[in-house]
Amino acid sequence: MENSGKSEILSWILTLVAAVVIALIVRTFVFNIAVVNGSSMEKTLHDRDVLISNRAVLFIRNPKREEIVVFHSPTDNKKLNIKRVIGLPGETVELKDGKFYINGEILAENYLEDDAYTLSNSDEYWQLGENEYFLVGDNRNPGKSFDSRATGPVNKSEITGITGLRLFPFNQFGGI
């Protein structure tokens, strides 16, 4: 009887260790939790929204235009930011008269409110290099989004995941 008790305890310990290892692998390589900090993505996302960030998809494909990504802050590598992809590697991004242009064509931003206007001091232009993305917040009001307009393009190596699911608040649970 004593051996079966020890065997059962050992079985529980091995199961627990296996569960922890699997959870760490999933968190490191597959999914992560991201929490919105601030109003830079309003009206799409709000302060303290909790999101699932898919890490594994980055091993399969590159981020696409209009997707919302999680990435290391250009000013603090320990901090994660959440923004929308508008410019892809090799493209030119222009901001003029409050609108973004990609390779000379106006960018249709259907996720923004109709009266959204992107404030800029002057016409601005960025040429994206290989593996560079132009990321901006959906809240274009002055001072609301510290994004690629201020920090420049973000390298793919700094992108940690693509979001697609909101976990919290529960009344907004679902796809983004």
In sequence order, which ranges of 30-139 are alpha helices (DSSP H)? 57-60
Residue 166: pLDDT band with limits 50, 70, 90: very high
Catalytically annotated residue among 40, 53, 145, 148: 40
Catalytic annotation present for 120: no
Q: Which domains does the chain have, with CATH numbers?
A: 2-175 (2.10.109.10)
DSSP character at residue 120: -
Beta bridge partners of 127: 92
pLDDT at 64: 97
Summarize pLDDT for 116-127 with one digit per residue, the tens: 667 666 678 899
Catalytic annotation present for 144: no
State yes or no: pLDDT of 155 exceeds 90: yes
| Phi, psi of 132, rounded to the nearest 5 degrees | -105, 140
pTM for this entry: 0.83
